[in-house]
Amino acid sequence: MSRSARRPSDGIASRILAACLREHCFIAAAESLTGGLLADAFVRVPGASAVFLGSAVTYDIRAKQSILGVDAELLRTRGAVDPEVARHMASSTARLYGNDDTVDRVIGLSTTGVAGPGPDGDKAAGLVYIALAFPDASALRHGGERKDGVYVRELHLEGSREDVRESTVLEVLGTLSKLLDA
């Protein structure tokens, strides 16, 4: 695929960035199984730097603890592929990338799961959790589990390792787009 080839995520990411610009909010991500693909979906759009603050690729379970501050006991007892881990990743990344000017306006996104090709212990390939942490809980208007201003979804995706990773990005973007009415 050439660098100029459009991806399915390009249009959605553009609409999200425009909506965030209008609403004066920002986006930051914590990625595990997507390993930077979510960040790429945003930075492919010219002008993304006005909204997209960055992404912490915390692929290793220890990185989730040391960089994002995910509770060590939670990681030890439940593992990295868990809805509470996704919740903590999303809320932590919003705080991590916030500063004096943006702290109350950062939407934190996270991805964690099993891309495959096989299971990870008792967790099947394709089991994914995405989370979106909003600075204002009232921004959550559509289904899904909500707690403390964080929206979490469990996904069961099919296909190759790359299919699962790319589908996860599309699910995050689609969910965020709906929640922002973008």
**Where do the structural domains in the chain lie, given as residue ranges?**
8-180
Q: Is this model's pTM higher than 0.85 or not?
A: yes
Domain 8-180: give its CATH architecture: Alpha-Beta Complex (3.90)
Residue 135's pLDDT is what? Answer: 81
3-state helix, strand, coil split of the chain in percent (to 5) is 45, 20, 35
CA nearest neighbour of 82 among 29, 129, 35: 129
The residue ranges of the chain whose pLDDT is under 50 are 1-2, 137-143
| Residue among 153, 118, 117 nearest 132 (CA) | 153
If you ran DSSP here, which 8-state letter would residue 79 be given? -
What per-residue confidence (pLDDT) applies to 21?
93
**Quick one: pLDDT at residue 1?**
45
Strand partners, 147: 150
pLDDT on residue 83: 98
> What pLDDT is stored for residue 136 in this prediction?
63
Rounded to an integer, what distance in angstroms lies between the CA atom of residue 130 and that of residue 36? 14
